[in-house]
Structure 1
Amino acid sequence: MTRLVPTGVLLLGALYCLLPVSWVLVAASKSPAELFTLGTFAPGSGLLGNLGELSAYRDGVFWRWMANTAFYAGGGALLSTAVSAVAGFALAKYRFRGRNLIFNVLIGGVLVPSVVLAVPQYLLFAKVGLADTYWAVLLPQILHPYGIYLARIYAGAAVPDSLLEAGRIDGGGEWRLLRTVGLPLMVPGMVTIFLFQFVAIWNNFLLPFIMLGDDGKFPLTVGLYTLLAAGANQPSLYNLIITGALLSIIPLIALFLTMQRYWRTDLSSGAVKG
């Protein structure tokens, strides 16, 4: 009985999270006429038509938004993971003056909402002429305090000091130890940081909304928002918005299914092979 209660709570939580996704899936299959006439969870017959109309809308601007989002999320998450891994490893494995102060400042940075930083960041980028560019969205995502915090905690637990000392005795330099010992042991943690950052940047709305004025540089979040605003006067756009929302979550699902195997990797296999 004690096991059934947490299982039931988890099932209810999963149902609560999956219900909106199920509604989007069903609504995207309906034609404009069916969207407001059939039952809420009755599938329609307009999915292929909606996909065609969405692809043709403004010469395929939706796919440009999709490519922009993949660039922002993929590039930002990769750079952020690299910076977080190196910084976290250094904070965990090296003793130097000001280390605790730097770590405490990072903890404080985790507590600062991104909304507070968006406007000052825009003013700074406008001052140097980078507003309304891809860099204005990409660069602020690279330094992520929470990612560095996770990397520091994970490096401290997963990388034994004795293994590093053995590498130094064998003549290995610090960068070589980082490449051949530290980073392989930190792969599961780095995958976690990458996924967190990828999802956060993929779903980010406020920063690109403030930074960008050219809709050719918009990510999906801002692009679909502009469609939603236009849908107030053109109800036929609602089908395109729902279909676009469905397509926007498919890459996230595929990413999680593809990368979850790295969490099951033996933590020490990489360093042993190196």
Structure 2
Amino acid sequence: MMEKQREAAEHDLPRSMRPSPITKTITVIVLVVALIYFLFPIYWAIIASTKTPSQLTSSNGLWFAVGLDQIPDAIATNYSKLMGWTRGQFWRWVLNSLIYSGVSALIGTIISVMAGYATAKFNFRGKVIAIGVVMGCMLMPVALLTIPQYSIFHALHLTNTMLAIIIPCCVSPFGFFLGRVYAQTSVPNELLEAARIDGAGEARIFFTIVLRLLAPAMVTIF
């Protein structure tokens, strides 16, 4: 059924815009190559996790250094050594990384689209200055903020805590810029006015209407 729908959609296009068989073939080849390119590091990591340090340099980097029947034992040996070297903290480190990245990405995405939407669709005093400050932050090297950020978190007694990592990652000038551009082009003012006429509050409009329209931007920011 999906194939029929795809063919029907193609026939709806003018003949000059229909993809030729050669174009389709090239597109598939390019996508397959891109897929292999992005999956290859994962494949290599799985292969490397079964090897000893000496086998990493002496064996074929694209295949196992032991027989397929010995792979489970090789993996168990390597991971037992890993847990011993990290004193059993490896999975705790993995969990911390997931918390840092997941929470920061989620909060940062919401903040970016909210700030982008607000500056794109509302007029308020100091709006131009606020946009200029945020855009100026995109030109500032991250390393330049290391010492000031440490001083601030030290004064707030937040050093050596997760918040010291999560809070800076939640602020993304690029995410704000992308959210603002999407809000300007993807959220019609007529739709917002219609929702207000129907009695919807600004919070309801944002969370039930605007967020759905800004989904592409949110995926990119996240």
Q: Which residue of 1 aligns with 2:46?
A: 25
Q: Which of 1 and 2 has greater Rg? A: 2
Give the secondary-structure state (helix, strand or coil) at the position aligned to 1:59: coil
Q: CA deviation at 1:182?
A: 1.3
Q: CA deviation at 1:88?
A: 0.9
CA pair 112-11 structure 1, distance change in 2 beyond 3 A: farther
Q: Which residue of 2 aligns with 1:229?
A: none
Q: CA deviation at 1:55?
A: 3.3
Q: Which residue of 2 aligns with 1:175?
A: 203
Q: Does 2:106 correspond to 1:78?
A: yes
User: What TM-score does the superposition give when structure 1 sets the normalisation length?
Assistant: 0.61
Give the secondary-structure state (helix, strand or coil) at the position aligned to 1:191: helix
Structure 1 residue corresponding to 2:55, chosen from 11, 18, 34: 34
Aligned equivalents of 1:19 and 1:173: distance in 2?
A: 48
Task: In structure 2, give the amino acid aligned to 1:39.
Answer: N
Aligned equivalents of 1:120 and 1:179: distance in 2?
A: 35
Q: Does 2:118 correspond to 1:90?
A: yes
Q: Does 2:76 correspond to 1:51?
A: no
CA pair 59-130 structure 1, distance change in 2 beyond 3 A: same
Q: CA deviation at 1:17?
A: 5.9
Q: Does 2:145 correspond to 1:117?
A: yes
Listed as ranges, the matches of 1:253-264 within 5 Å are none
Aligned equivalents of 1:56 and 1:185: distance in 2?
A: 49
Aligned equivalents of 1:124 and 1:78: distance in 2?
A: 23
Give the secondary-structure state (helix, strand or coil) at the position aligned to 1:60: coil
Is the contact between residue 31 and residue 47 of structure 1 (CA under 8 Å) also seen in structure 2? no
Q: Does 2:212 correspond to 1:184?
A: yes
Is the contact between residue 158 and residue 186 of structure 1 (CA under 8 Å) also seen in structure 2? yes
Listed as ranges, the matches of 1:185-224 within 5 Å are 185-194=213-222
Give the secondary-structure state (helix, strand or coil) at the position aligned to 2:62: coil
Q: CA deviation at 1:57?
A: 3.5
Aligned equivalents of 2:153 and 2:203: distance in 1?
A: 33
Structure 1: stretches of 5+ with no match in the other structure = 195-274
Is the contact between residue 89 and residue 152 of structure 1 (CA under 8 Å) also seen in structure 2? yes
Q: Does 2:190 correspond to 1:162?
A: yes
Q: CA deviation at 1:33?
A: 4.5
If asked which structure has higher relative contact order (CA below 8 Å, sep 6+), I would say 1
Q: Which residue of 2 aligns with 1:128?
A: 156
Is the contact between residue 92 and residue 155 of structure 1 (CA under 8 Å) also seen in structure 2? yes
Aligned equivalents of 1:92 and 1:152: distance in 2?
A: 6
Structure 2: stretches of 5+ with no match in the other structure = 1-21, 66-70
**RMSD, matched Cα:** 2.7
Q: CA deviation at 1:40?
A: 3.1
Q: Which residue of 2 aligns with 1:100?
A: 128
Aligned equivalents of 1:20 and 1:179: distance in 2?
A: 38
Aligned equivalents of 1:41 and 1:172: distance in 2?
A: 58
Q: CA deviation at 1:129?
A: 1.7
Give the secondary-structure state (helix, strand or coil) at the position aligned to 2:104: helix
Aligned equivalents of 1:114 and 1:36: distance in 2?
A: 36
Give the secondary-structure state (helix, strand or coil) at the position aligned to 1:42: coil
Q: CA deviation at 1:117?
A: 1.0
Is the contact between residue 31 and residue 49 of structure 1 (CA under 8 Å) also seen in structure 2? no
Q: CA deviation at 1:187?
A: 2.0
CA pair 177-39 structure 1, distance change in 2 beyond 3 A: closer
State the percentage of identical aligned residues.
Answer: 38
Give the secondary-structure state (helix, strand or coil) at the position aligned to 2:63: coil
Aligned equivalents of 2:32 and 2:111: distance in 1?
A: 37
Tell me the matched-pair count.
194
